[in-house]
Structure 1
C-alpha cells in the first residue's frame, strides 16, 4: 500500500480520537462551563450531525480544488477548531467548534476515501479502505484511552491541545506525500457534472449498500456506546473493566478491518454473506451470556472483529457502487458510516427504557443487524458481485 494511505490514516486516527474521546470528558466540561450534563451531551450530537450533513456538502464544495489542497485545508481547519475549543470559556463557542470540526472531519474522510481509491489498482479498493479505517480502530484502542487519561491528569482542555498537535504531522504528510491527481478536484481525470454524480443515488445497488452499511455500523455503535451499564450492572464487573472492555472491542475491530481488507476485494460476497449472519448470531449470543463476565469479554472482542470486518467491507462496496461519482463517492461512504454512528446510539438510548434494561442496546444491535441481513442476503449479487464483475 502507498505511504500516502498510511499518512491519511494518521489524520483519521486524530479525528477518530476526537470523535470518541468526548464521552469521557463530558462531566468535566459540564462542570467547567457551568452547564448540565445533558446540555454538554449536545457536543456529541452536534458532531454526529455535522458528520452526516458535512460529508456530501463538503465534498460538493471542494470538488473543484486539488485533492491535496482539500485534505490539507480540512486537517488545518480541524486542528484550528480544537485550538479554539481548548481556549474558550463559552459553551456556545465550544459547540460551534465541534460542528466545525465535524464538517472538517467529514470533508477530509470523504475526500480521503475518494483519493484512497485512486492510489491503488481498481481491484484493491477494499484493502485501501481497510488501511484508512484502521486509523479509526487504532483511535479506539489507543487514542480514546490516552485522551481520557490526559483529561484526568491535566483537565479536559489537554486532549484538545493534543489532537491539534497530532494534526500537524498529518498535515505535513499530506503536503509531502499525497499526490495531486491529474485534473481538478479530488478525483482523477475529467469529472462528470455534480448533477450526474448525485444521479448515482438513484442506482439501487448503491442505495442498498449504503442502507445495509448504515444498519450494520449503527448496530456496532448502539452497543459500544452503552456498554458500560452491561459491564457494570448486568455482568457485575467493576468500573475499571469498562475501559478494558472498550480496549478489547478496539483490538477486535482492528483485526476485523485487517482481515476483511484482504478479503473484501476478491470475496466480498463471502465476507457479507457469511460474516453478516455470524454478526447477528454474535449480538444475540452477547445478550444471552452477558451475565457471565468471561463470556461477555470474549463476545465483545469477537463482535468488534465481526462488526468492523463486515462494516468496512460494506463501506468499500459503496465506493465500488459509486464508481460513476468519482468526487462524491467518498462522501456517500462517509454518510453511510456516520448515519449509523448517529442513529445507532439514538435507537439504543430509546431501548434503555424498555423491559430489557441495560441489555436493550444489545438487542437493538441484534434487530438492526437482522434488518440489514434481510435486505442484504437476497440482494447479495447486487451489493457484492464477484471479483470479476466488481473490477470491470
Structure 2
C-alpha cells in the first residue's frame, strides 16, 4: 500500500469497526434483555415465566443451526448484504415480539429475530478480520467482540431499567429502531468487504475428530449453560433481595456486566502467566462456590451484589482461556475449532431455560443457582478430561482449513 492508502485504512477502520460492534451489541442486547423483562412479559402474555424463557431456547437453537447453514448456503453473498439483511430481520422480528399479545406470536417474532442474528454475527466477525490489515486483525476482532460484552454490561441492565419505567415493550422497540438505523449505516459506510473462499463440509467437521476439541467444546457448552441458568432466571433468583423492583434488578445485572468486563480484560494476562488449565480450574471453581453461596444471602441486596460481582468476573474471565485452549490444541485448525465454539455457546444458552425451569419446579428459586453450579462442575470435568485425551492423527483436510477461516470466536 502507498502512504495515502495506509492513512485511509488507519482513519477509516475503527469507525467501521464501531458500526460492527454496535451491530453485535444489538444482537446481544436483544438476546439478554429478556432475562430482566421475564416476569413482565409473562404477565402481559398470560403465561408462566418458564414458558417465556423457552423462547430463549428457540432463539438460541435457531442461531446455532442457521448460522453455519447461512455460511454454507450463501458463501458468495456480500457480507454487507448479509449484515444489513440480518439487522432488518432483527428489527422486524423484535417489533412483532413487542407488539404480540400471545406467547405464540411472541415466539414467532423471536425466531425471526434469531434468523437475523444468524446472518449477522458470523458475517460481522469475518468482516472485522477482512477489513483490518494483518497486523491489526486481532485487535479488530477484539474491538468488534466488545459489542457482546457491552450488551451484558450495559444493554441488558439498561433495557431492564427502561422496562421498569415504560413497560417491557419499550426496550424491544428501542432495539428494533437501532437495528434498522444500523442496517442503513452499514450499507453506506461498510462496503467492499473481501469474501473468503467457501469451506467444504469435510473440513468443517475435521476438528471434531479430536477428543480434546470435543471435551473443550463440552466445557464451553456447560460453562454457558451454567451462567445462563442463573442469568436468565435472575429475576427469580434475586426476588427477595430486589423485592420485585425492576430498577434493583437492573442494578444487579449492571454489576454482573461491569465485573465481566474486568474479567475479560484480566483473562488474557492470567492465561499467559498461569496457563489455561490452572486459569479455567480456578475460575470455574470460584463460580461454583459463588452460585452455591447465593441462596445464603438471598434476602440481602448488598450480599447479592457482592456475589454477583465475583460471579461476573469469573464467568467472563473463564471464556478466554477456554478459547485459547482450542487454539493451543492445534493452531493449524483453530479457526474451524473456534467456529464450533460459537455453536457450542448457543447450544448452552438453549439448554439453560429448560434446566432453570426444572430447578424452579423441583425446589423453587433457591435451587436455580445449584443447577448452575452443577453445570459448571460438569464443565470442569470436561475440561480436565480434555487435557488427559491424546492427540489424534493429523488429517490433511483439517490442516488445509486454517487459511480459510479467521481464528475468531464470540463471548456471552
Bin for the TM-score computed over the shorter chain: 0.7 to 0.9
2:278 is aligned, of 273, 276, 280, to 273
- Listed as ranges, the gaps of 5+ residues in structure 2 are 1-9, 391-406, 408-412
* Structure 1 residue 10 displacement after superposition: 0.7
Q: 1:291 matched to which residue of 2?
A: 296
Q: CA offsets per residue over residues 288-322 of structure 1, 9 Å max, x none?
A: 36434344322211211111121244346557869
* Structure 1 residue 102 displacement after superposition: 0.9
- Listed as ranges, the gaps of 5+ residues in structure 1 are 384-390
Q: Distance in 2 between matches of 1:317 and 1:169?
A: 38
Matches within 5 A, 1:233-312: 233=240, 238-240=243-245, 241-260=248-267, 262-263=268-269, 267=272, 270-288=275-293, 290-292=295-297, 293=300, 294-312=302-320
Indicate conservation of the 8 Å contact 2:236/2:365, yes or no.
Answer: yes
TM-score norm. by structure 2 comes to 0.75
Give aligned pairs, total.
374
Q: 2:219 matched to which residue of 1?
A: 212
- Cα separation, partners in 2 of 1:312 and 1:103, compared to 1, 3 Å: farther
Q: Distance in 1 between matches of 2:192 and 2:332?
A: 19
Q: Does 1:352 align with 2:360?
A: yes
Q: 2:106 matched to which residue of 1?
A: 94
Q: Distance in 1 between matches of 2:135 and 2:218?
A: 23
- Cα separation, partners in 2 of 1:242 and 1:27, compared to 1, 3 Å: closer
- Cα separation, partners in 2 of 1:263 and 1:176, compared to 1, 3 Å: farther
Q: Distance in 1 between matches of 2:72 and 2:273?
A: 29
Q: Distance in 2 between matches of 1:127 and 1:299?
A: 31
TM-score norm. by structure 1 comes to 0.79
- Cα separation, partners in 2 of 1:270 and 1:11, compared to 1, 3 Å: same
1:231 is aligned, of 217, 232, 238, to 238
Structure 1 window deviating more from structure 2 (213-222 vs 313-322): it is 313-322
Indicate conservation of the 8 Å contact 1:217/1:337, yes or no.
Answer: yes
* Structure 1 residue 281 displacement after superposition: 3.0
- For 1:341, what is the secondary structure of its paired residue? helix
- Cα separation, partners in 2 of 1:127 and 1:310, compared to 1, 3 Å: farther
Matches within 5 A, 1:1-392: 2-3=13-14, 4-30=16-42, 32=44, 39-87=51-99, 91-118=103-130, 130-178=142-190, 180-182=192-194, 184=195, 188=196, 190-233=197-240, 238-240=243-245, 241-260=248-267, 262-263=268-269, 267=272, 270-288=275-293, 290-292=295-297, 293=300, 294-315=302-323, 324=333, 331-354=339-362, 357-377=364-384, 379-380=386-387
Indicate conservation of the 8 Å contact 1:129/1:312, yes or no.
Answer: no
* Structure 1 residue 207 displacement after superposition: 2.5
Q: Distance in 2 between matches of 1:354 and 1:89?
A: 29
Q: Distance in 2 between matches of 1:28 and 1:21?
A: 12
- Cα separation, partners in 2 of 1:316 and 1:12, compared to 1, 3 Å: farther
- Aligned-residue Cα RMSD (Å) equals 3.7
- Cα separation, partners in 2 of 1:161 and 1:351, compared to 1, 3 Å: closer
Q: 2:402 matched to which residue of 1?
A: none
Q: Distance in 2 between matches of 1:55 and 1:269?
A: 34
Q: Distance in 2 between matches of 1:255 and 1:128?
A: 19
